[in-house]
Structure 1
Amino acid sequence: MDYQDFFRIKDDWNIKIEELKDEQLVHYGSNLLCGNGYLGYRGTLEEWGKDEYQACVITDTYDMADGKWRELSNSPNALFTEVKVGGEKLGDYPEEDLMTTELDFDYKYGVFKRNSKAKNSTAEIVSERFASYDNLHLIANKYQLNNLEEDEVEIKLGIKGDIWDLNGSHLENFSGEYDSQKNILYLKANTVEKNIDLITALSFDFKKGEIESLKVENEEKSIYLLLKIKPENKLVKFERNMLVYSSNDLENPLEKAVEAAAEAAAEGYQQLKQEHQHVWDKKWELMDIKVAGNQLDQLAVHFNLYHNIIATPAHSEFLPIGARGLSCQAYQGAAFWDQEIFNLPMFLFTETETAKNILKYRYHTLDGARKKAKDLGYDGAFYAWISGKSGQELCPSFFFKDVISGRKIRNHFNDWQIHVSPDISYTIWKYYIATDDLDFVVDYGSEILFEVARFLHSRVHYNQYKDQYEIIRLLGPDEYHENVDNNAFTNYQTRYALKKALYFYYKMENEYPEKLKNLKEKIDLQESEVTAWQEIAEKIYLPEPDENMLIEQFDGYFDLEDTTAEVLEERLIDKQEYWGWPNGVAVFTQVIKQADVIQLFTMHDIFSEEVLAANYDYYEPRTQHGSSLSPSQYAIVAARLGRAEEAYDYFETSAFIDLMSTNKAVSGGTFIGGVHTAAAGGIWQLIVNGFAGMKVNRKGLSFMPILPEEWDSVEFNLNYKANKLKIKLSSDSFTVKASASNKNLVAFKVEDQHYKAAAGEEINIKI
């Protein structure tokens, strides 16, 4: 598939779409998203509506409208515009052949641009917008009509409340007003379940063109201004600002929205843009990855870094990273294990405070995890598979449907996929060894670690015949095989989580006895429980490599039919069939959805290279990569095995999942479109942990670099234990430059050699 079927490259940061295609409307909206962690405005034209998937998703607005799906709400659209010139409609409507449109998107600053030309006149629409990082509630837009041959221009602009929602309308009780003195409209509504007030305000200022008449039009869910404009030198130009606030943000969102709208109008588009770009410039100083020698790959890297950043609510420690970010309502704007294992690592080694906020979110949702554990008959904290603001389980029991019979499929993501809890414990440890932030672990992380250990204690089963602990009836990362026993990844993660809980228990006992005493009293932790954690960690069954050096993914996996995804594809009756539990085509075969044993290798450096190679060669042809999480993990292992070109092939697969729209928007009857934020975060890992071969463990920082021949070099920044490093990898050298502001020597290893970099020092190593 040629990328030029989807876009053209303008430079390292910018793409152009020269022709709009109806079948790509879902993907345009997601890929060209203006976002900032608070809101995400989809890449749609101003005249488009819900049929074209127009939406602006707002964080912290979880609401249930249909009795099944609790998801984030969409704001009414304050950038809606309808233009008539000489009585004829102007705009690029999919069902009408009136204009041709080109789109540009700048991934450095998140700026969306459109240029539409009429087919039957000289008229042109030029528009530009961004979601501000200086004021997270703001979307700024400048809109221009050029080459107008007619003197009669009618513009309908305002706030449209009839919007695209996946699972029912979340807003009701609409009321709107127009302040003619300030040129500000607002539309107030509240969510149907939680009664959250949502205010959308609009300020505007005409720079070219004279308003000859103005009429306010209120509809059931919308408020508009009907304007007659006299062009100036065949031009009409205005600037406007969309502001969104909810009652979860502050006590009086209406007052704040109107005030902020007026302030934005007073500043003007160009000043607002400069302030926004200044914030982005600071982010890219930390997070940019520079790829030399392949502009397409450089663009793809920037695309994925951008989307990982804008998906993350860095402004809050109470909100999750959604599996589709804020690109749409799919996956409910909620956290999965993706958040810790795929999204967080980039922040951990760049914008460390954001990584801490992500983990604090898990601390604040402990009660939700405790409730889930209790409801299912367990102790401790069983974290939700799909976690919103409260941490209570959002994953419905019937996620997919049988597209042949129409019957619902009972999936057990919400009660059998238990590895999310030890995954969080794993990440707390990784945070600690990357930052030395013991205070965070003592004040926040320890309670999570102990409650997860408690849950695992209550979840394991003791096999008295084998004198070992086992974990039965579960599913691991591979979601096609449910109701299995002793998933290798989950069992190893369980031991790891227990060991880290024990480590910090005894560390606090020695160094923070009073805080440990208070925490034990708070959660009623008994010494007998700690003793049990030790016993389970010592006796839990861990599938070991067999005589062929293979680790069995779960008990009985090797007894299943040995076939390939291509063969199973031919067995489908309907292309939309779900492949997994309970009777999908993959269930009784060795075909897996995604990295599972391979996922174990990317997270745990405890197996020999021979074991990695044997398992990579075995599982790779049996993996469908039906999850966007999978390719980056295979790439990391391929790179560690010295297989640079195989790793690069997986880089291409992962980096272009969204850019080239390779993943389907609907699976098993459920909409799963939107940006794959885990794949976006996975690109950072693929480059840093894969090609640069970075590992961070108790031994310290190390690299095993390998560069694909398609690249001349790659550069990135690291923040390690509060010291900043600039890394450059080329085909024959590896360079580490320590920031002049560093306060400590930074020890690291490249291949088998040890080095120490002083502040300001650059070490150039031949490889």
Structure 2
Amino acid sequence: MGWYLEHNEVPSDRERILQLGVTYAVANGYMGYRGTLEEYTADQFVACNLNGVYDRVGEKWRESVNAPNPLYAAVSVDDESYSVVDRAPAFHCQKLDFRYGLHRRKTSWKAGGQAVTVHVERFASMDDVHLLAMSYTVKVSTGGRIVVRTGIDGRVWDLNGPHLHIYDRGVKGDAIYLASLTQELHIPVVVAEICRRDFPAEERIVTTGEGIYRDFTFDADPQSEYTFWKFAVIYHGMETEEDVFRLALDAVGKAAQTGYDGLLKAHKRVWDRMWKTSDVKIEGDPEAQKALRYSIYQLLSCAPRHTDRLSIPARGLSSQTYKGAVFWDTEMFMFPFFLATQPGIARNLLGYRIHTLEGARRKAREYGYVGAFYAWESQETGDDACSHFNVVDVFTGRPLRTYFRDKQIHVNAAIVKAFRDYVERTGDERVLLEGGAEVILECARFYLSYLYYSPYWERYEVLDVTGPDEYHERVHNNAYTNRMVKYTLETARWVEDRLGEAYPDAWVELKERLGWEREAMLMEDVAARLYVPDPDPETGVMEQFSGYFKLEDCPLKEVRSRLLDPREYWGGDLGVATHTQIIKQADVVLLLALFPHEYSREVMRANWEYYEPRTEHGSSLSHYAYGLVACHLDMPERAYPFFMKSATIDITGSSKQFAGLIYIGGAHLGACGGSWILAVRGFGGYQGDGILTPRLPSTWKALEFTVYEGGTPRTYRVTPEGTTCRA
């Protein structure tokens, strides 16, 4: 039970088909193949999303590219189509084995005296990230003439496409191929496929405007099973300057020679290796166990193990939502999991920010600042893909001006925190010498150019920003943002001291190259006099931003009742929450979750009790922070519902699917990372280096997890009776 998802009905409504495509997806960091059925096309939201490949069509949003679908397959018997699109099945089961990233499906149809059954298994290889493999078996009860059409289908779902121009398709030896170019930058994307079978059949190649296919025709004996295996590879020009056509054909030939069983074994070996340090075991709560393992599966399957030039998009590799872009979600909510369990992947994620530093510098200059201003929605170059009009009004259909791109400067601090946490946890200072120090200093330099100085108050302030709570834009002195700016300046000083002591020559070279003298003089004074709001001395509550307490204080239920359309955006100039104290997600409480030792328990409790009823939890990133602070307050039972909401969000599909008229569905990788943090740091009480203060929910008999300490993985087992550790 702890390793499977399963459902037994074929969805008919649009939203359910969309959601199952997310829930049952398989991925390997290079690409993500949606959890759709083999006979589906664009109408049922089929997509194979490529990590790091982006395209723009006309004036539409620039987004990640979906490759042509090499796993298309449809069957007919005696000239009758057997497809869930055309015919309701008598039995259907779709299953995801997230222990090994295997998508399985069994469907049976009955027509007259005939029963037709297909049984399919497929995976995105973790051993060779270019590879998709599938086993497809068909059986008929009374025999008949079977035609199976399978091949490379260009009918894939795009939010703002079509993104690919097909310029060539054909046959090369045993392989069929389809070659295309992206519309904007003309990046080549090549898909090649070889099909093997264990039965004789007449084979015919069929070329259409959408793709290239094989038709297998054969006479089936009653109750006999007929299996074919598909091997498909995808290469694109963003990853290499070599001939991607040749690479694809060579790779697919080798895959077919290895065979399905051999490829599956290699794929499973990688998963076994990753689960060895990533698994978290919960005893006494099967539902929580399944949800947490599924969250970990999502993280591992979308992580770029093969390169340090990619990161993890906010919606994983399940769709083009949010333009396939990388947000602060990666560093703030996913990175702690990888740092603790897969430090090599954590290092790759930092590499992406190093490689996109120039894009962050360009953005800072665009707004008249210096240093690096990292993108709110970052794509392959680090330039910001976020639109100035990011939400559509549901009543007029007109785009609404938002300030996510312009004013959410706290993204810099999340990146800085990830670099510092990595170095302090692993001891690997090479990342600083290989670009990490430059990232940190340039982020600090941006803040120094952004800050305001108030002669009256004799302090530095952070004005005109948007904190994590996006329902209140362009506010002053957001408590979370101000503290994270201060943290960034402190970390810049930490870099100065660390490199100056351990690598003085490298530090001198970096200072001279960046021209850091002025900043070095400013840093200490600015950090010391930067205003960070204090808790109210009487109530203990921290004001989220200047003037927040003057907003209308009304219940969440009241604000929700003011909606005229359930898809309305709550923020912006006219949103129902904008002029109230109702917030989108954890803001002050996120600050407390990150710096729990800076505040007393009384202050933490006062803020938790104040802000939680005023939080809509309109973002999947919100639940973890409230759950973690509840654990710090020894309230595991109050934390547990937040954990379950975070861990089950992509199983239940209980999340917002639209912001205004914009589709925002897809996997919630930040919530997946938050689920792990809440389990290990919250319920497990893990503070690092063997220090634990557990607070298990009452139903949990034991919690077991593995974390790297000093380069060695150590496994902790927490029970109500005590804690044990083994290397």
Q: Give me the whole-angstrom Cα distance separating, in 2, the residues matched to 1:350 and 1:506.
A: 28
- How far off is 1:68 after superposition? 3.5
More divergent stretch after superposition (572-581 vs 425-434): 425-434
- Residue 513 of structure 1 and its aligned partner are, at CA, apart by 2.0
Cα-Cα RMSD: 1.3
Question: What letter corresponds to residue 119 of structure 2 in structure 1?
Answer: V
Q: Which range moves more in the overlay, 441-450 or 392-401? A: 441-450
TM-score, normalised on structure 2? 0.97
Say yes or no: does 1:161 pair with 2:151. no
Equivalent of 1:516 in 503, 507, 524: 507
Partner of 1:543: 533
Give TM-score, length-normalised by structure 1. 0.92
Equivalent in 707, 714, 734 of residue 703 of structure 2 = 714
Q: CA deviation at 1:703?
A: 1.8
1:455 lines up with 2:446 in the alignment: yes
1:132 equivalent to 2:125? Answer yes
SS of equivalent to 1:225: strand
Note the alpha carbon deviations across 1:25-84, whole angstroms, 9 max, x for none: 111111111110011111111100111111110112111124232211111111111211
Query: Does residue 639 of structure 2 align to residue 647 of structure 1?
Result: yes
Secondary structure at the residue paired with 1:60? strand
Q: Output the amino acid matched with 1:677.
A: L
2:246 pairs with 1:255:
yes
**1:230 corresponds to 2:219:** yes
Amino acid at match of 1:539: R
> Structure 1: how far apart are the matches of 2:373 and 2:648?
34
- Mapping of residues 197-212 of structure 1, within 5 Å: 197-207=188-198, 209-212=199-202
Counterpart in the other structure of 2:4: 14
* Structure 1 Cα separation of the partners of residues 445 and 370 of structure 2: 6
Q: Does structure 2 conserve the Cα–Cα contact (< 8 Å) formed by 1:91 and 1:116?
A: no
Instruction: Give the aligned partner of residue 270 of structure 1.
Output: 261
* From 290, 294, 299, the counterpart of 2:285: 294
Letter in 1 for 2:375: A
Q: Point out the more displaced range, 648-657 or 515-524.
A: 515-524
What CA distance in whole angstroms lies between the structure 1 residues aligned with 2:359 and 2:382? 4
Contact 2:703–2:718 under 8 Å retained in 1? yes
CA distance in 2, matches of 1:724, 1:189: 44
CA–CA separation in structure 2 for the residues paired with 1:58 and 1:148: 40
**In structure 2, how many angstroms separate the alpha carbons of the residues matched to 1:167 and 1:705?**
47
Deviation, 1:438, is 2.2
Tell which deviates more after alignment, 454-463 or 420-429: 420-429
Indicate how the Cα distance of structure 1 residues 131 and 500 shifts in structure 2: closer, same or farther if over 3 A, else same: same
2:90 & 2:366 partners in 1: Cα distance? 57
Within 5 Å, give how 1:738-757 maps onto structure 2: 739=727
1:659 alignment partner in structure 2: 651
Matched, 1:410 2:392: no
Say whether 1:45 aligns with 2:34: no
Residue aligned with 2:143, SS:
coil
The count of residues paired between Structure 1 and Structure 2 equals: 719
1:723 aligned onto 2:716: no
How far, CA to CA, are the matches of 1:76 and 1:425 in structure 2? 38
Q: Which moved more, 1:548-557 or 1:356-365?
A: 356-365
CA distance in 2: counterparts of 1:378 and 1:35, whole angstroms: 39
Q: Report the Cα offset of residue 98 of structure 1.
A: 4.7
1:221 pairs with 2:213? no
Name the aligned partner's letter for residue 200 of structure 2.
Answer: E
Distance in 1 (CA, whole Å) between partners of 2:493 and 2:169 is 57
Aligned counterparts, 1:42-121, within 5 A: 42-93=34-85, 96-120=87-111, 121=114
Task: Give the aligned residue type for 1:138.
Answer: L
CA–CA distance in structure 1, aligned partners of residues 604 and 191 of structure 2: 53
5+ residue gaps, structure 2, are: none
Given the alignment of the two structures, is residue 601 of structure 1 paired with residue 592 of structure 2, yes or no? Answer: yes
Assess if the C-alpha contact under 8 Å between 1:320 and 1:334 holds in 2.
no
Kept after mapping to 2: 8 A contact 1:727/1:734: yes
The Cα shift of 1:303 comes to 0.6
Match for residue 423 of structure 1? 414
Determine the C-alpha separation between the residues in 2 that align with 1:477 and 1:314.
29
Which residue number in structure 2 is paired with residue 29 of structure 1? 21
Q: Secondary structure at the match of 1:656?
A: helix
Contact 1:320 1:389 in 2 (8 A): no
Does residue 734 in structure 1 map to residue 727 in structure 2? no
Structure 1 residue runs of 4 or more that deviate by more than 6 Å after TM superposition? none
User: What CA distance in whole angstroms lies between the structure 1 residues aligned with 2:169 and 2:91?
Assistant: 34
Shift of 1:732: 2.2
Establish whether residue 676 from structure 1 lines up as the match of residue 665 from structure 2: no
Structure 1 residues 532-586: Cα deviation after superposition (integer angstroms, max 9, x where no partner)? 1211101111100112111100001111111222211110011110000121000
Aligned-partner SS, 1:21: coil
Cα distance in 1, alignment partners of residues 469 and 110 from structure 2: 51
In 1, the alpha carbon distance for the partners of 2:91 and 2:47 equals: 22
Q: How does 1:549-628 map to 2 (within 5 A)?
A: 549-604=540-595, 605-628=597-620
SS in 2 for 1:27: helix
Separation of aligned partners in 2, 1:48 and 1:506: 58
Point out where structure 1 has 5 or more consecutive residues left out of the alignment.
1-10, 740-767
What secondary structure sits across from 1:62 in the alignment? strand
Q: Quick one: which amino acid aligns to residue 678 of structure 2?
A: L
- Deviation string, structure 1 residues 104-158 (Cα, Å, up to 9, x no partner): 1101001011110103231101100011111111111000111342331111111
Q: In 1, Cα distance between the equivalents of 2:95 and 2:404?
A: 39
Q: Measured at CA, do residues 226 and 393 of structure 1 come closer, stay the same or move farther in structure 2, by a change above 3 Å? A: same
User: 1:60 touches 1:72 (CA, 8 Å); kept in 2?
Assistant: yes
Report the alpha carbon displacement of residue 491 of structure 1 after superposing the two structures with TM: 0.3
Asked if structure 1 preserves the Cα contact closer than 8 Å seen for 2:452 and 2:462, the reply is yes
**Superposed displacement of residue 496, structure 1:** 0.7
- 1:27 and 1:460 map into 2 onto residues whose CA distance is 43
Please tell me whether the aligned partners of residues 444 and 492 of structure 2 are also in contact (alpha carbons under 8 angstroms).
yes
Given the alignment of the two structures, is residue 401 of structure 1 paired with residue 395 of structure 2, yes or no?
Answer: no
- Residue pairs, 1:381-530, within 5 angstroms: 381-525=372-516, 527-530=517-520
Deviation at 1:522, TM superposition (A): 2.0
Q: In structure 1, how many angstroms separate the alpha carbons of the residues matched to 2:695 and 2:355?
A: 40
Counterparts of 1:92 and 1:528 in 2: how far apart (Å)?
67
State the 1:695 CA deviation. Answer: 2.3
Of residues 314, 317, 323, the one that matches 1:332 is 323
Q: CA deviation at 1:99?
A: 4.9
Task: Tell whether 2:273 aligns with 1:282.
Answer: yes
Q: Secondary structure at the match of 1:449?
A: helix
Give the distance between the partners of 1:139 and 1:657, measured in 2 at CA.
27
CA distance in 1, matches of 2:502, 2:3: 49
Provide Cα deviations, 1:468-524, integer angstroms capped at 9, x if missing partner.
111111110011000100000000001111011012213323332211121122222
Q: Indicate conservation of the 8 Å contact 2:657/2:665, yes or no.
A: yes
Matches of 2:600 and 2:89 in 1, distance apart? 63
Counterpart in 2 of 1:185?
A: 176
Does structure 2 conserve the Cα–Cα contact (< 8 Å) formed by 1:131 and 1:140? yes
User: 2:333, 2:674 within 8 Å by CA — same for their partners in 1?
Assistant: yes
User: SS at 1:262's partner residue?
Assistant: helix
SS at match of 1:659: helix
